[in-house]
Structure 1
Amino acid sequence: MAVYRKKIILQIIFLFIVVNVGYSQNSKSYFYENEFDFSLPLKGKWSMDFGFGNRGMFQERNAGKIVSGYQHEHLEMKHFTTYQASELIGISLGAQYRFRELFDSSKEDEFRLTEQVEIQSANSPLSHRFRLEQRFREHIIHRGRYDIAYSMPLNQYFSWTLGTEALYAISSQLKPEAEQRISLSLANSYFQDLELGLSLEYRMENYTRNLDHEFFIISGLTIDMGN
Protein backbone atom coordinates (compact mmCIF):
# COMPACT_ATOMS: atom_id res chain seq x y z
CA MET A 1 0.00 0.00 0.00
CA ALA A 2 2.85 2.42 0.84
CA VAL A 3 4.45 1.78 -2.58
CA TYR A 4 1.08 2.38 -4.26
CA ARG A 5 0.66 5.72 -2.46
CA LYS A 6 4.14 6.82 -3.51
CA LYS A 7 3.33 5.98 -7.14
CA ILE A 8 0.20 8.15 -6.97
CA ILE A 9 2.18 11.08 -5.57
CA LEU A 10 4.81 10.75 -8.31
CA GLN A 11 2.10 10.59 -10.97
CA ILE A 12 0.49 13.80 -9.67
CA ILE A 13 3.83 15.62 -9.65
CA PHE A 14 4.43 14.38 -13.20
CA LEU A 15 1.01 15.77 -14.18
CA PHE A 16 1.99 19.21 -12.85
CA ILE A 17 5.16 19.12 -14.94
CA VAL A 18 3.38 17.99 -18.12
CA VAL A 19 0.72 20.70 -17.83
CA ASN A 20 3.41 23.31 -17.18
CA VAL A 21 5.39 22.31 -20.27
CA GLY A 22 2.33 21.91 -22.48
CA TYR A 23 -0.30 24.47 -23.51
CA SER A 24 2.42 26.96 -24.44
CA GLN A 25 -0.04 29.23 -26.24
CA ASN A 26 -2.15 29.79 -23.12
CA SER A 27 -1.43 32.23 -20.33
CA LYS A 28 0.48 30.68 -17.43
CA SER A 29 1.09 32.32 -14.06
CA TYR A 30 3.24 31.21 -11.13
CA PHE A 31 2.28 32.19 -7.57
CA TYR A 32 3.28 31.61 -3.97
CA GLU A 33 1.11 31.83 -0.86
CA ASN A 34 1.99 31.85 2.83
CA GLU A 35 -0.73 31.07 5.38
CA PHE A 36 -0.76 31.29 9.17
CA ASP A 37 -3.83 29.92 10.98
CA PHE A 38 -4.81 29.15 14.54
CA SER A 39 -7.83 27.29 15.90
CA LEU A 40 -9.59 28.11 19.15
CA PRO A 41 -12.25 25.75 20.59
CA LEU A 42 -15.21 27.31 22.39
CA LYS A 43 -17.87 25.87 24.66
CA GLY A 44 -19.79 22.83 23.52
CA LYS A 45 -19.69 22.14 19.81
CA TRP A 46 -18.43 25.58 18.75
CA SER A 47 -14.98 26.59 17.55
CA MET A 48 -13.31 29.56 15.87
CA ASP A 49 -10.50 29.75 13.32
CA PHE A 50 -8.44 32.82 12.46
CA GLY A 51 -5.94 33.24 9.66
CA PHE A 52 -3.53 35.62 7.97
CA GLY A 53 -1.90 35.21 4.59
CA ASN A 54 -0.28 36.79 1.60
CA ARG A 55 0.08 36.05 -2.10
CA GLY A 56 2.63 37.05 -4.68
CA MET A 57 3.18 36.30 -8.35
CA PHE A 58 6.61 35.14 -9.49
CA GLN A 59 6.00 35.45 -13.20
CA GLU A 60 3.35 35.47 -15.94
CA ARG A 61 3.87 34.04 -19.42
CA ASN A 62 1.82 34.19 -22.61
CA ALA A 63 2.67 32.22 -25.76
CA GLY A 64 5.93 31.25 -24.08
CA LYS A 65 7.03 34.84 -23.48
CA ILE A 66 7.35 36.62 -20.13
CA VAL A 67 4.73 39.39 -19.95
CA SER A 68 5.19 40.41 -16.29
CA GLY A 69 7.61 39.73 -13.47
CA TYR A 70 7.37 39.59 -9.71
CA GLN A 71 4.57 41.48 -8.00
CA HIS A 72 2.81 41.20 -4.67
CA GLU A 73 -0.91 40.43 -5.01
CA HIS A 74 -2.55 40.89 -1.62
CA LEU A 75 -2.56 40.48 2.14
CA GLU A 76 -5.59 38.87 3.75
CA MET A 77 -7.32 38.24 7.07
CA LYS A 78 -9.99 35.58 7.55
CA HIS A 79 -12.22 34.16 10.25
CA PHE A 80 -14.52 31.13 10.53
CA THR A 81 -16.98 30.20 13.25
CA THR A 82 -17.90 26.49 13.15
CA TYR A 83 -20.69 24.47 14.76
CA GLN A 84 -20.08 20.70 14.85
CA ALA A 85 -23.60 19.50 14.14
CA SER A 86 -22.60 15.83 14.37
CA GLU A 87 -19.53 13.62 14.23
CA LEU A 88 -19.62 13.92 10.44
CA ILE A 89 -20.91 17.42 9.69
CA GLY A 90 -19.49 20.83 10.52
CA ILE A 91 -21.32 24.05 9.58
CA SER A 92 -19.34 27.28 9.29
CA LEU A 93 -19.78 30.97 8.56
CA GLY A 94 -16.70 32.90 7.47
CA ALA A 95 -15.54 36.40 6.61
CA GLN A 96 -12.42 37.40 4.73
CA TYR A 97 -10.81 40.70 3.74
CA ARG A 98 -8.11 41.09 1.09
CA PHE A 99 -5.94 44.19 0.90
CA ARG A 100 -5.25 44.62 -2.83
CA GLU A 101 -5.06 48.40 -3.32
CA LEU A 102 -1.84 48.51 -1.29
CA PHE A 103 -0.01 46.79 -4.16
CA ASP A 104 -2.02 47.87 -7.22
CA SER A 105 -4.04 51.09 -7.20
CA SER A 106 -6.13 49.85 -10.13
CA LYS A 107 -7.61 47.05 -7.99
CA GLU A 108 -10.16 47.31 -5.20
CA ASP A 109 -9.95 45.58 -1.85
CA GLU A 110 -12.19 42.53 -1.52
CA PHE A 111 -14.57 41.55 1.28
CA ARG A 112 -15.93 38.02 1.22
CA LEU A 113 -18.63 36.12 3.09
CA THR A 114 -18.61 32.31 3.07
CA GLU A 115 -21.19 29.70 4.08
CA GLN A 116 -19.68 26.24 4.44
CA VAL A 117 -20.67 22.63 5.14
CA GLU A 118 -17.90 20.08 5.65
CA ILE A 119 -18.44 16.31 5.82
CA GLN A 120 -15.64 14.19 7.23
CA SER A 121 -15.46 10.90 9.11
CA ALA A 122 -12.56 9.77 11.29
CA ASN A 123 -12.96 6.31 9.74
CA SER A 124 -12.75 7.46 6.11
CA PRO A 125 -9.89 9.09 4.17
CA LEU A 126 -12.39 11.09 2.11
CA SER A 127 -13.74 14.53 3.00
CA HIS A 128 -16.25 16.77 1.25
CA ARG A 129 -16.64 20.54 1.49
CA PHE A 130 -19.42 22.71 0.05
CA ARG A 131 -19.16 26.49 -0.01
CA LEU A 132 -21.24 29.45 -1.13
CA GLU A 133 -19.41 32.78 -1.37
CA GLN A 134 -20.35 36.41 -1.88
CA ARG A 135 -17.34 38.43 -3.07
CA PHE A 136 -17.65 42.21 -2.81
CA ARG A 137 -15.11 43.90 -5.10
CA GLU A 138 -15.50 45.85 -8.38
CA HIS A 139 -18.62 43.73 -8.93
CA ILE A 140 -20.52 41.47 -6.55
CA ILE A 141 -19.70 37.89 -7.48
CA HIS A 142 -21.58 34.82 -6.25
CA ARG A 143 -19.59 31.60 -6.32
CA GLY A 144 -20.31 27.95 -5.53
CA ARG A 145 -17.50 25.54 -4.61
CA TYR A 146 -17.27 21.78 -4.08
CA ASP A 147 -14.07 20.17 -2.81
CA ILE A 148 -13.32 16.49 -2.38
CA ALA A 149 -10.06 15.34 -0.79
CA TYR A 150 -8.36 12.03 -0.02
CA SER A 151 -5.92 11.97 2.91
CA MET A 152 -3.58 9.21 4.08
CA PRO A 153 -0.67 9.02 6.57
CA LEU A 154 2.84 8.37 5.29
CA ASN A 155 4.23 7.61 8.74
CA GLN A 156 3.77 8.73 12.35
CA TYR A 157 4.26 12.43 11.63
CA PHE A 158 3.70 12.94 7.91
CA SER A 159 0.51 12.72 5.88
CA TRP A 160 -0.47 13.65 2.35
CA THR A 161 -3.70 14.86 0.78
CA LEU A 162 -4.84 14.77 -2.83
CA GLY A 163 -7.78 17.04 -3.58
CA THR A 164 -9.75 18.63 -6.38
CA GLU A 165 -12.21 21.51 -6.24
CA ALA A 166 -14.80 22.68 -8.77
CA LEU A 167 -15.90 26.34 -8.74
CA TYR A 168 -18.58 28.25 -10.63
CA ALA A 169 -19.01 32.03 -10.40
CA ILE A 170 -21.84 34.27 -11.60
CA SER A 171 -22.36 38.04 -11.56
CA SER A 172 -24.91 40.45 -13.03
CA GLN A 173 -22.07 42.42 -14.67
CA LEU A 174 -19.81 39.54 -15.80
CA LYS A 175 -20.16 36.32 -17.75
CA PRO A 176 -20.18 33.06 -15.73
CA GLU A 177 -16.78 31.48 -15.07
CA ALA A 178 -15.90 27.86 -14.31
CA GLU A 179 -12.68 26.81 -12.59
CA GLN A 180 -11.08 23.54 -11.55
CA ARG A 181 -8.29 23.08 -9.01
CA ILE A 182 -6.06 20.08 -8.31
CA SER A 183 -3.77 20.02 -5.27
CA LEU A 184 -1.22 17.76 -3.62
CA SER A 185 -0.33 18.57 0.00
CA LEU A 186 2.16 17.28 2.55
CA ALA A 187 1.60 17.91 6.29
CA ASN A 188 3.93 17.45 9.26
CA SER A 189 2.56 17.11 12.82
CA TYR A 190 5.80 16.36 14.66
CA PHE A 191 5.37 19.31 17.05
CA GLN A 192 2.49 19.15 19.52
CA ASP A 193 -0.50 21.35 18.54
CA LEU A 194 1.43 22.61 15.50
CA GLU A 195 1.09 21.52 11.88
CA LEU A 196 3.35 22.51 9.00
CA GLY A 197 2.12 22.15 5.43
CA LEU A 198 3.38 22.47 1.87
CA SER A 199 1.15 22.22 -1.20
CA LEU A 200 1.35 22.27 -4.97
CA GLU A 201 -1.81 23.47 -6.68
CA TYR A 202 -2.81 23.72 -10.33
CA ARG A 203 -5.77 25.88 -11.35
CA MET A 204 -7.63 25.91 -14.65
CA GLU A 205 -9.13 29.41 -14.68
CA ASN A 206 -12.19 30.18 -16.82
CA TYR A 207 -11.70 26.96 -18.78
CA THR A 208 -14.99 27.12 -20.72
CA ARG A 209 -14.19 30.40 -22.51
CA ASN A 210 -10.60 31.61 -22.04
CA LEU A 211 -8.41 29.02 -20.35
CA ASP A 212 -5.58 30.26 -18.13
CA HIS A 213 -3.19 28.04 -16.19
CA GLU A 214 -2.08 28.99 -12.70
CA PHE A 215 0.50 27.18 -10.55
CA PHE A 216 0.78 27.73 -6.79
CA ILE A 217 3.32 26.84 -4.12
CA ILE A 218 1.54 27.18 -0.76
CA SER A 219 3.17 26.98 2.66
CA GLY A 220 1.11 26.86 5.84
CA LEU A 221 1.43 26.86 9.61
CA THR A 222 -1.54 25.93 11.82
CA ILE A 223 -1.65 26.18 15.62
CA ASP A 224 -4.27 24.38 17.70
CA MET A 225 -4.91 26.44 20.85
CA GLY A 226 -7.22 23.84 22.40
CA ASN A 227 -4.64 22.80 24.96
Structure 2
Amino acid sequence: MKKTILILFIVLQFCTLQIFAQFTKSQVDELTAKGIAAAIEPENPAIKSKAGELTGAYKEKEYIQNVCAVFDNLYRNWNYQRDPGGMEYFEKAGVSVYTYTGDCDDYATLMISLIKSLGGEGRIVCVSGHAYPELYLGKDLSESELDIFKESINSYYENKGSRTRAKYLNYHTDSNGSVWLNLDYQDRYPGGKFVEYSPDAEHLVIYSDGSYELAYLNK
Protein backbone atom coordinates (compact mmCIF):
# COMPACT_ATOMS: atom_id res chain seq x y z
CA MET A 1 0.00 0.00 0.00
CA LYS A 2 2.77 2.44 0.97
CA LYS A 3 4.61 1.69 -2.27
CA THR A 4 1.41 2.34 -4.28
CA ILE A 5 0.86 5.69 -2.54
CA LEU A 6 4.48 6.69 -3.18
CA ILE A 7 4.18 5.81 -6.87
CA LEU A 8 0.95 7.83 -7.19
CA PHE A 9 2.60 10.80 -5.47
CA ILE A 10 5.58 10.66 -7.86
CA VAL A 11 3.23 10.47 -10.85
CA LEU A 12 1.29 13.51 -9.60
CA GLN A 13 4.52 15.45 -9.07
CA PHE A 14 5.68 14.55 -12.57
CA CYS A 15 2.34 15.61 -14.07
CA THR A 16 2.53 18.91 -12.22
CA LEU A 17 5.99 19.61 -13.60
CA GLN A 18 4.80 18.68 -17.09
CA ILE A 19 1.85 21.08 -16.82
CA PHE A 20 3.96 24.00 -15.64
CA ALA A 21 6.59 23.23 -18.28
CA GLN A 22 3.99 24.22 -20.89
CA PHE A 23 3.99 27.83 -19.66
CA THR A 24 6.59 30.57 -19.78
CA LYS A 25 7.62 32.30 -16.54
CA SER A 26 5.56 35.37 -17.44
CA GLN A 27 2.50 33.17 -18.00
CA VAL A 28 3.02 31.44 -14.66
CA ASP A 29 3.33 34.85 -12.97
CA GLU A 30 0.08 35.98 -14.60
CA LEU A 31 -1.76 32.81 -13.60
CA THR A 32 -0.45 33.13 -10.04
CA ALA A 33 -1.55 36.76 -9.81
CA LYS A 34 -5.02 35.97 -11.14
CA GLY A 35 -5.44 33.00 -8.82
CA ILE A 36 -4.36 34.92 -5.73
CA ALA A 37 -6.41 38.02 -6.56
CA ALA A 38 -9.52 35.87 -7.12
CA ALA A 39 -9.07 34.30 -3.68
CA ILE A 40 -9.19 37.68 -1.90
CA GLU A 41 -12.80 38.21 -0.73
CA PRO A 42 -13.19 41.23 1.57
CA GLU A 43 -16.92 41.52 0.82
CA ASN A 44 -17.67 37.94 1.80
CA PRO A 45 -20.11 37.99 4.78
CA ALA A 46 -18.04 35.43 6.70
CA ILE A 47 -14.92 37.58 6.24
CA LYS A 48 -16.71 40.70 7.46
CA SER A 49 -18.12 38.83 10.43
CA LYS A 50 -14.73 37.41 11.43
CA ALA A 51 -13.03 40.80 11.06
CA GLY A 52 -15.65 42.40 13.30
CA GLU A 53 -15.32 39.61 15.84
CA LEU A 54 -11.54 39.93 16.02
CA THR A 55 -11.40 43.72 16.24
CA GLY A 56 -14.50 44.51 18.30
CA ALA A 57 -12.45 45.42 21.38
CA TYR A 58 -10.19 47.76 19.37
CA LYS A 59 -12.69 49.91 17.49
CA GLU A 60 -11.66 52.98 19.48
CA LYS A 61 -7.95 52.19 19.18
CA GLU A 62 -5.48 53.08 16.43
CA TYR A 63 -6.07 51.17 13.19
CA ILE A 64 -2.75 49.34 13.49
CA GLN A 65 -3.98 47.73 16.72
CA ASN A 66 -6.95 46.33 14.81
CA VAL A 67 -4.43 44.86 12.38
CA CYS A 68 -2.52 43.42 15.35
CA ALA A 69 -5.69 41.68 16.54
CA VAL A 70 -6.20 40.09 13.12
CA PHE A 71 -2.53 39.15 12.76
CA ASP A 72 -2.31 37.71 16.28
CA ASN A 73 -5.35 35.51 15.71
CA LEU A 74 -4.13 34.13 12.38
CA TYR A 75 -0.58 33.67 13.62
CA ARG A 76 -1.71 31.66 16.64
CA ASN A 77 -4.35 29.56 14.93
CA TRP A 78 -3.25 28.98 11.35
CA ASN A 79 -2.69 25.33 10.42
CA TYR A 80 -0.10 25.04 7.67
CA GLN A 81 -0.93 22.41 5.08
CA ARG A 82 0.58 21.95 1.63
CA ASP A 83 -1.67 21.87 -1.41
CA PRO A 84 -2.68 18.27 -2.17
CA GLY A 85 -0.86 16.31 -4.83
CA GLY A 86 1.82 18.93 -5.32
CA MET A 87 -0.61 21.05 -7.36
CA GLU A 88 -0.85 24.79 -6.74
CA TYR A 89 -4.31 25.72 -5.49
CA PHE A 90 -5.55 29.07 -4.19
CA GLU A 91 -8.30 28.61 -1.61
CA LYS A 92 -10.98 31.28 -1.46
CA ALA A 93 -10.69 33.39 1.69
CA GLY A 94 -14.39 32.76 2.31
CA VAL A 95 -13.51 29.08 2.78
CA SER A 96 -10.24 29.37 4.70
CA VAL A 97 -11.87 31.75 7.19
CA TYR A 98 -13.71 28.67 8.48
CA THR A 99 -10.85 26.17 8.30
CA TYR A 100 -7.79 28.32 9.12
CA THR A 101 -5.89 25.73 7.10
CA GLY A 102 -3.74 25.97 3.99
CA ASP A 103 -0.34 26.99 2.70
CA CYS A 104 1.37 30.38 2.67
CA ASP A 105 -0.70 31.91 -0.13
CA ASP A 106 -3.94 30.87 1.59
CA TYR A 107 -2.75 32.55 4.80
CA ALA A 108 -1.87 35.67 2.81
CA THR A 109 -5.20 35.93 0.96
CA LEU A 110 -7.17 35.50 4.18
CA MET A 111 -5.06 38.14 5.93
CA ILE A 112 -5.53 40.67 3.13
CA SER A 113 -9.26 39.89 2.89
CA LEU A 114 -9.73 40.62 6.61
CA ILE A 115 -7.67 43.81 6.41
CA LYS A 116 -9.57 45.11 3.38
CA SER A 117 -12.89 44.34 5.05
CA LEU A 118 -11.78 46.73 7.82
CA GLY A 119 -11.09 49.47 5.29
CA GLY A 120 -7.36 48.92 4.97
CA GLU A 121 -5.25 48.00 1.97
CA GLY A 122 -2.69 45.31 1.38
CA ARG A 123 -0.84 43.29 -1.22
CA ILE A 124 0.71 39.85 -1.54
CA VAL A 125 4.37 39.29 -2.34
CA CYS A 126 5.78 36.08 -3.81
CA VAL A 127 9.51 35.42 -3.48
CA SER A 128 11.78 32.38 -3.12
CA GLY A 129 8.83 29.97 -3.34
CA HIS A 130 6.94 31.76 -0.57
CA ALA A 131 3.95 34.12 -0.50
CA TYR A 132 3.21 36.60 2.28
CA PRO A 133 0.98 39.65 2.91
CA GLU A 134 2.01 43.28 3.33
CA LEU A 135 -0.04 46.11 4.85
CA TYR A 136 -0.14 49.57 3.29
CA LEU A 137 0.92 52.11 5.93
CA GLY A 138 0.98 55.32 3.90
CA LYS A 139 3.19 57.40 1.68
CA ASP A 140 6.44 59.25 2.34
CA LEU A 141 6.43 58.33 6.02
CA SER A 142 9.11 59.78 8.29
CA GLU A 143 11.07 57.77 10.85
CA SER A 144 9.06 59.37 13.64
CA GLU A 145 5.79 58.34 11.96
CA LEU A 146 7.05 54.78 11.59
CA ASP A 147 8.07 54.81 15.26
CA ILE A 148 4.48 55.66 16.16
CA PHE A 149 3.34 52.49 14.37
CA LYS A 150 5.94 50.47 16.25
CA GLU A 151 4.92 51.95 19.61
CA SER A 152 1.27 51.19 18.89
CA ILE A 153 2.11 47.59 17.98
CA ASN A 154 4.09 47.18 21.19
CA SER A 155 1.27 48.77 23.17
CA TYR A 156 -1.13 46.15 21.80
CA TYR A 157 1.01 43.28 23.05
CA GLU A 158 1.83 44.98 26.35
CA ASN A 159 -1.86 45.47 27.10
CA LYS A 160 -2.45 41.77 26.44
CA GLY A 161 0.19 40.88 29.01
CA SER A 162 2.47 39.48 26.32
CA ARG A 163 6.24 39.77 26.26
CA THR A 164 6.20 40.12 22.47
CA ARG A 165 7.84 43.37 21.36
CA ALA A 166 8.93 44.77 18.02
CA LYS A 167 12.46 46.15 18.25
CA TYR A 168 12.20 47.44 14.70
CA LEU A 169 9.79 47.08 11.80
CA ASN A 170 10.48 45.31 8.51
CA TYR A 171 8.83 47.08 5.59
CA HIS A 172 9.31 47.87 1.91
CA THR A 173 9.25 51.35 0.45
CA ASP A 174 8.28 51.61 -3.23
CA SER A 175 9.78 54.10 -5.66
CA ASN A 176 6.66 56.27 -5.27
CA GLY A 177 7.12 56.47 -1.49
CA SER A 178 4.44 53.92 -0.55
CA VAL A 179 5.33 51.99 2.61
CA TRP A 180 4.26 48.36 3.05
CA LEU A 181 4.60 46.55 6.39
CA ASN A 182 5.50 42.85 6.46
CA LEU A 183 2.70 40.62 7.84
CA ASP A 184 4.40 37.27 7.29
CA TYR A 185 4.29 34.61 9.99
CA GLN A 186 8.09 34.47 10.32
CA ASP A 187 7.72 36.46 13.57
CA ARG A 188 5.04 36.83 16.23
CA TYR A 189 4.14 40.44 15.43
CA PRO A 190 3.35 42.68 12.44
CA GLY A 191 6.57 44.01 10.96
CA GLY A 192 8.58 40.87 11.73
CA LYS A 193 11.49 39.55 9.68
CA PHE A 194 11.31 38.91 5.94
CA VAL A 195 11.82 35.46 4.49
CA GLU A 196 14.21 36.93 1.89
CA TYR A 197 16.67 39.82 2.22
CA SER A 198 18.82 39.37 -0.88
CA PRO A 199 18.91 42.50 -3.08
CA ASP A 200 18.98 40.20 -6.11
CA ALA A 201 15.72 38.43 -5.21
CA GLU A 202 12.93 39.08 -7.70
CA HIS A 203 9.51 39.65 -6.13
CA LEU A 204 6.14 39.07 -7.76
CA VAL A 205 3.96 41.78 -6.21
CA ILE A 206 0.21 41.17 -6.46
CA TYR A 207 -2.34 43.86 -5.62
CA SER A 208 -5.88 43.20 -4.47
CA ASP A 209 -7.33 44.61 -7.71
CA GLY A 210 -5.59 41.86 -9.67
CA SER A 211 -2.76 43.98 -11.05
CA TYR A 212 0.79 42.79 -10.50
CA GLU A 213 4.41 43.66 -11.17
CA LEU A 214 7.90 42.23 -10.88
CA ALA A 215 10.18 44.19 -8.58
CA TYR A 216 13.39 43.97 -6.58
CA LEU A 217 11.98 45.17 -3.28
CA ASN A 218 15.18 44.69 -1.28
CA LYS A 219 17.23 47.14 -3.35
TM-score normalised per structure 1: 0.22
Select the structure that is richer in helix: 2
Select the structure that is richer in strand: 1
TM-score normalised per structure 2: 0.23
